[in-house]
Amino acid sequence: MTVITRFAPSPTGNLHVGNIRAALHNWLWARKSGGSFLLRLDDTDQERSRPEYADAIRADLRWLGLDWDDEQRQSDRFALYEARFEALKAAGHVYPAYETQQELELRRKVLLGRGLAPVYDRAALTLTADQIAAHEAEGRKPHWRFRLDHDRPIVWTDLIRGEQRFDPRLLSDPVIRRADGSWLYMLPSVIDDIDMGVTHVLRGEDHVTNTAAQIQMFSALGAPIPQFAHEALLTGSEGKLSKRLGSLGVAHFREIGLEPMAIVSMLARLGTSMAIEPLADPQPLIDSFDFARFGRAPARFDEGELAHLNQKIVHLLPYATVADRLPSGMDAGAWDVIRPNLETVAQAADWWRIVTGPIEAPAPEDGEFLELAASALSQENFDADIWRTLTDRLKGETGRKGKSLFLPLRRALTGIDHGPDMGQLLPLIGKEEAVRRLSRA
């Protein structure tokens, strides 16, 4: 069997962290299995679907490194849905219902008020020809429901959750088509999965009940049923489902300077028994992907942990992978010096300004000592060991050591109290500029 997975977002908004995680896991499984990963734009809601959102989805996936093997749009497939719908209608698997949304909501409230599950009572199946004619005369158009088979339980083995069992009598017959003829998510998704040969459907656990109904749709259409995997939902760092997670997307991550591999490294293993590691390449994530290691507990997404992971990944990045994002003149040697002090690659520009200047002059202090340092530096051979040579000489001439020796020099040369090893930074600043900074201070 060739594994085929799919990511099927609706282009009605931007991807958020939960969408990204689902896309990533489908991609990882396809790549590990040597199969195909499909991008399917579920754009049946033509009023809310926008080309700019579709473009943003593609751009986000590319930025994350998630390539796809084929792309389809549901809006190109309406003829197929119509044909399959007519076949289901002829076989008695779908039926028209004339209740308004207000009537359905009232029934729902009544059932809840009685302590009963708000399951649709199939009243539409008892309508007489005269009642249907009366509804039509009023101008009512029917919506369409898929008729669940109540005679057998719905059972499947979920790759994450294990055996799942539903009594179809406790489920409402799902609405698959609105009164205006437009499609809801449930049936077109099944038709597409069949037509595209999807073998594995990996998505959030909030779709488990949908899966139960869709399994009967696969059977009604005479198609094999894919394997399903429902992963635990993400929670915020505060320990509960967070609305903020719905607003965290690629645009936010790029704005704060995160590396794509930081997001991929974290989301790939979040909610599994595997350790989250700072990785600069996705291959270890592909190789280690395993449904058996997914847990059932909600997975906690922490932006602070993501920032820390990003910092570790930045420290691993070779010059060649970041050269086009570094300031002009910053070479591989300079990157190696500055990299350990970065949280994001963008911060390299701030450190490079400290190297190239101008820097903000520190408050006047230790003027006599710094004047001596400027004179000593101007006399020394400016080689790779110049910092050690300079500080050893000043230590011998002044008796200073430790903080009283090093801190005034660092402040005068960089304008700040911390940063890269001065033994590596001073050669980047250069002799003439360093003497000038010491003299000015």
Is residue 44 classed exposed, middle or buried when 0-12, 13-18 and 19+ CB atoms within 10 A define those classes? buried
* Domain positions in the chain: 4-69+187-233, 80-177, 319-356, 367-440
Residue 373: enclosing H or E segment and its boundaries? Answer: helix 367-379
Beta strands in 100-209 (DSSP E): 143-146, 154-158, 162-166, 175-177, 200-204
Residue 243 marked in a binding site: yes
Fold of 80-177: Glutamyl-tRNA Synthetase; domain 3 (3.90.800)
CA terminus-to-terminus distance, the chain: 72
- 263-315 tens-digit pLDDT: 999 999 999 999 999 999 999 999 999 999 999 999 999 999 999 999 999 99
The three-class DSSP label of residue 382 is: coil
Tokens of 95: 């039926």
CA 100, distance to chain mean position in Å, is 38
CB-based contact 415:434 (threshold 8 Å): no
Q: What is the CATH number of domain 4-69+187-233?
A: 3.40.50.620
Rounded distance, CA 148 to CA 146, Å?
6
Q: Give the model confidence (pLDDT) of 106-158 as tens digits.
A: 999 999 999 999 999 999 999 999 999 999 999 999 999 999 999 999 999 99
Cα 365 to Cα 141: distance, rounded to the nearest angstrom: 85
The backbone region for 34, taken as left when phi is positive above 0, alpha when psi lies in -120 to 50, beta otherwise, is left
Q: Which two tokens stand for residue 222?
A: 């005479």
Domain over 367-440 is classified CATH 1.10.10.350: yes
- pLDDT by 10s per residue, the chain, length 441: 899 999 999 999 999 999 999 999 999 999 999 999 999 999 998 889 999 999 999 999 999 999 999 999 999 999 999 999 999 999 999 999 999 999 999 999 999 999 999 999 999 999 999 999 999 999 999 999 999 999 999 999 999 999 999 999 999 999 999 999 999 999 999 999 999 999 999 999 999 999 999 999 999 999 999 999 999 999 987 766 677 888 899 999 999 999 999 999 999 999 999 999 999 999 999 999 999 999 999 999 999 999 999 999 999 999 999 999 999 999 999 999 999 999 999 999 999 999 998 988 777 778 899 999 999 999 999 999 999 999 999 999 999 999 999 999 999 999 999 999 999 999 999 999 999 999 987
- Measuring CA to CA, which residue among 440, 409, 413 is closest to residue 356? 413
